[in-house]
Structure 1
Amino acid sequence: MQKLTVVGSVNVDLTAITERLPQPGETIGGGRLRRDAGGKGANQAAAASRLGAEVRMVGAVGDDDDGRWMRSALADAGVDTTHLASVAEATGTALIVVDRDGENQIAVCEGANALVSIDHVDFADDETVLAQLEISLALVTELAARTAGYLAVNAAPAQTLPQEVLDRVDLFIVNETEYALMPELENAPLVAVTYGSKGAALLDHGKPIASAPAVKTTPVNTVGAGDAFCAALTLALREGLSPEAALRTACAVGAAAVADPSSQPALQPLASYVP
């Protein structure tokens, strides 16, 4: 069983499911409201655990009912929450609108995620660490300096990365929009780029080394699909799968996630998605 530490965000997802996404200044009626456990970090931790890894979550939630709910949801997914701190800020919240095709708009209120710390966390030499950019860039930079093992970063939301992060990270994972907004990633040794219905590719210093088609499915909610993809790709590469096989596996996991209404979908062990 692989050991994975996820350092990242934990949010309550408030999702309005509507016929279509609203235009700027427009109000859309007839929506249905969902309230789910979410946050890129928590989503990736839950997905990795359900895929069969031994996962611990490093993050922060508020000392409030939402924080206790998020802690319980992660524990139910099999995630070790020993390093999930309870802090004075309110638990982070994501406001989401999802249309009939599963496309979404998201606004995040970081709350407790601004106070995530790795001060009292030890990282083993053989440990895999997965982070995202819903925590502070200063913390990601500190993580890059302190991680001795394999470091993967889901560089979302897009922002300019310092050179010390670019030099240290073993795997970046972004979507095509984020890749376009972060030209510095063209010089990174390994970048996975997702293209929605067009599949995904692995790039070495900007040059494709593997690609995989998307797995056709009926989309219900795309919010957690990218996070499930991140978890699956990181684990698959660390299992020793070839770049193409790892991409195909991650695309299959993403397709399973997009067919589930939850941001933390039910998943089978990783091996069941390997082509």
Structure 2
Amino acid sequence: MAGSVVVVGSINCDSYVEVSEHPKPGETILGLDSSRSSGGKGANQAAAATIFGAPVGMLGAVGQDDDGEFVVGELGKREVDTSHVAVVGEPTGRALVTVDSYGENTVIVLPGANATVTPSSLADREEIIAGADVVVTQGEIPADTIEWLAGVVTGRLVCNLAPVVEVSEETLARFDPLIVNEHEAKDLLRQLGRDGEVSQGGEAERIGWELVERLSELELPSIVVTLGDEGAIWADDTGRAHVPSVPVKVVDTTGAGDCFVGVLAGALADGQSLAEATKLAARAGAFACQVMGAQPSYPKSLADLEAL
């Protein structure tokens, strides 16, 4: 049976506006449609991880508001255990998303209740975290919480450092894997003062390999650099390889990276190698680009991915 996954991270309510093209600074345009869906990197990754049928738990916080009830209810529909999601005085996190006719998006995140996901707020959930086979976290919660998790997790700690927040190199060394896209990889290397000689443009796969080489200098257990529609590159002590994506008609890229992370984490908990998990995750990321929204676009089973 697949192992358990616990996600410690952000929970947002996403407000979408569809536009023909993104407005320029100072420009007012008419939107084409609007909608609401459950989001936040943590919640998205938890929803995606459920396709393996194993227990997936969500630790985070929402507000005492309609948005909080809505997003927790949506996670429940994906069979995510939300019994340990805290309800706090701050409003539920919000993401304001605009999506153009090419499927490209811009996102503004208001952290709200996510800022309350601190080590002290999780102290009584330490046993749950320590008991998980795989723990997933992201940069949308306070950095000191990520540092704390590195000392509490006894299973595998997967970190999607998005956005890039400052953590110690000792904590970085616990990420197995560290998952970043090209921009986040460059930001992390810059933050660590190791960005010299990293190319700033060019073919995505070549840049990806260059970033993997530089990140490998940090002696992390494993690394995954995502490359959008060019797939991803994984690296661990068994080797490294580029995994191509699957061509699809792109409707909306929102949450595709989170789907990648959640499926990869679920695959690792299922006992798959990083190579196998990355291949499946690349298919999942492509799958999620075919429908508007984040969680509504995710596969509901492994059969969905096999049919892609």
SS of match in other structure, 1:245: helix
Q: 1:249 aligns with which of 280, 287, 290?
A: 280
Alignment of 1:1-275 (within 5 A): 1-116=2-117, 117-121=121-125, 122=127, 123-125=129-131, 127-183=133-189, 184=192, 185-186=215-216, 187=218, 188-204=220-236, 209-264=240-295, 265-270=297-302, 273=305
The structural deviation recorded for 1:15 is: 1.1
SS of match in other structure, 1:201: strand
Contact 2:130 2:152 in 1 (8 A): no
Query: Which segments of structure 1 move beyond 4 Å, counting only runs of 4 or more?
Result: none
The structural deviation recorded for 1:28 is: 2.6
One-letter code aligned to 2:147? T
Contact 2:17 2:31 in 1 (8 A): no
Residues 53/25 of structure 1: CA separation in 2 closer, same or farther (3 Å cut): farther
Q: Give the number of equivalent residue pairs.
A: 274
Q: TM-score, normalised by structure 2?
A: 0.83
**1:109-144: CA deviations, max 9, x gaps?**
000001113111113455210001100001111111
Q: Which runs of 5+ in 1 are unaligned?
A: none
Higher relative helix content: 2
Residues 109/208 of structure 1: CA separation in 2 closer, same or farther (3 Å cut): farther
Distance (Å, rounded) in 1 between the aligned partners of 2:99 and 2:19: 6
Distance (Å, rounded) in 2 between the aligned partners of 1:166 and 1:266: 29
What's the RMSD between the two structures over aligned residues? Answer: 2.1
SS of match in other structure, 1:13: strand
Percent identity between the aligned chains? 41
Distance (Å, rounded) in 1 between the aligned partners of 2:304 and 2:14: 28
Distance (Å, rounded) in 2 between the aligned partners of 1:243 and 1:166: 18
Contact 1:153 1:169 in 2 (8 A): yes
Q: Which has the higher Rg, Structure 1 or Structure 2? A: 2
Distance (Å, rounded) in 2 between the aligned partners of 1:222 and 1:84: 27
Contact 1:51 1:270 in 2 (8 A): yes
One-letter code aligned to 2:107? I
SS of match in other structure, 2:122: coil
Q: TM-score, normalised by structure 1?
A: 0.92
